[in-house]
A = this chain, B = another copy of it.
Amino acid sequence: MNLLLINPNISASVTSLIEAEARRAALPDTVLATATAQSGVAYIETPGEAVVAAHEVFRILGECHDQYDGAVVAAFGDPGAVQAKEVFPIPVIGLTEAALASAFLLGGRFAIVGISERIGYWYEETVAALGMTRRYAGYHGLGQAFKDVGSVGVEARDILLRMCLQRVHEGADSIILAGAPLAGLAREIEAEVPVPLIDGVGSAVRMLESMVRAAHGPRKTGALSAPPAKPHQNLPAGLSRVIGRHP
């Protein structure tokens, strides 16, 4: 199967991290492609920034979704992912969705560890919107600046490890390492953490493969079927075919 990994951040170094970890996680015959946001910010930390990112995700999917069997929105917070399920006829999932599904199946309570204190509010709202708050054991964000979003997982490895151990001490039964910039960190430190560490990118690839294999096809009616036809104007080219389109 052919999968598209969309980095809604403009950072090419993060796209590389995503691709490498996705390749490790994927089935042997899964073909992976990547796309990086052309407009936006270096890394998305807030719901406001996510408004811009979600639009860019839609623009990218509008252009090329018909070349893929499924797509990952490879940023935690899942900008545009839930809404893309409705608009595009292929399975689309976000890193948060995938990581929460993994945590759900592992059982117990999950904590989230990420690269920024500011970003915690957005993650928490995302968990709530997805309906998984009952199993959520809190967020812990890196409290200090970092040099490069493409290597923060290496740079702050030891601090992030201590943050994980602290969450375990406080009762977390699994820990999600949140955000594409931390892709791969779970493998690096899992031997030192006594509960499962969940990698968002790896989870997303495996979960998306499961969805593509289930072969459900797009919804034909209801709240998550394609938007109804109606007048529209000035939409990005790819989107005008799927939003407000005339049948």
Chain A interface (Cβ < 8 Å from any Cβ of B): 10, 25, 27, 38-43, 45-52, 54-55, 58, 80, 82-87, 91, 93, 97-98, 100-102, 104-109, 118, 120-122, 125, 128-135, 168, 171-173, 190, 194-198, 202-203, 206-207, 209-211, 213-214, 216-217, 219-225, 227-228, 230-235, 239, 243-244
The answer, among B48, B106, B243, for a CB contact under 8 Å with A87, is B48
Given A52-B243, A168-B222: A41 touches B118 (CB 8 Å cut-off): no
* Chain B proximity of A230: nearest CB distance (Å): 5
Pair A243/B171 contact, Cβ less than 8 Å: no
The answer, among B47, B120, B172, B207, for a CB contact under 8 Å with A105, is B207
Given A39-B234, A42-B232: A227 touches B48 (CB 8 Å cut-off): yes
Pair A129/B129 contact, Cβ less than 8 Å: yes
A194 partner residues in chain B, CB cutoff 8 A: 219-222, 225
Pair B38/A224 contact, Cβ less than 8 Å: no
A83 to B10, CA, bound (A): 20
Identical copies in the complex: 6
A130 partner residues in chain B, CB cutoff 8 A: 104
Pair B105/A104 contact, Cβ less than 8 Å: no
A210 to B27, CA, bound (A): 10
A234 to B10, CA, bound (A): 10
A216 partner residues in chain B, CB cutoff 8 A: 106, 190, 196-197
Pair B135/A129 contact, Cβ less than 8 Å: no
A107 partner residues in chain B, CB cutoff 8 A: 82, 85-86, 224
A93 partner residues in chain B, CB cutoff 8 A: 105
A105 to B106, CA, bound (A): 16
* Chain B proximity of A210: nearest CB distance (Å): 4
A27 partner residues in chain B, CB cutoff 8 A: 27
Pair B47/A231 contact, Cβ less than 8 Å: no
